[in-house]
Amino acid sequence: MVEIQESSFGSITVRGRRYNHDVWILADGSVEERKGGYHMFLEAEVQTLIKKGTEVIVVGTGTSGCVEIDPSAEQLARARGIEIVCDITPRAVEEYNRLTSKGKKVAAAFHVTC
């Protein structure tokens, strides 16, 4: 289980390592730098995150919720039977930790600034 210890404006700490950029966390626990539309969660990101048996995708939309969800991204996830949970990053981190502690296969995209 991957645990996010902290998120603050401009950074997120996953398994004791601090990242000063947006991240993806795949369902297998690997962490990658988030690439794509920084203020838009895109369909291409869903395609990256649905690998490895993902059941839920958590999207952290930034500390003030600046990231929007592209409707095609949401449609693709739902078509694959994957739930998408979106919230400001601090609350999305809490939800990610709650879901993973219950054994869910969770992937995530976190925007760490605005």
SS (H, E, C) the chain: CCCEEEEECCEEEECCEEECCCEEECCCCCEEECCCCCCEECHHHHHHHCCCCCCEEEEECCCCCCCEECHHHHHHHHHCCCEEEEECHHHHHHHHHHHHHCCCCEEEEECCCC
> What does the pLDDT look like over 66-76, one tens digit per residue?
999 999 999 99
Q: Is the pLDDT reported for residue 51 higher than 90?
A: no
**Can you list the domains of the chain with their CATH numbers?**
4-110 (3.40.1230.10)
Higher pLDDT, 85 or 36: 85
pLDDT value of residue 37: 67
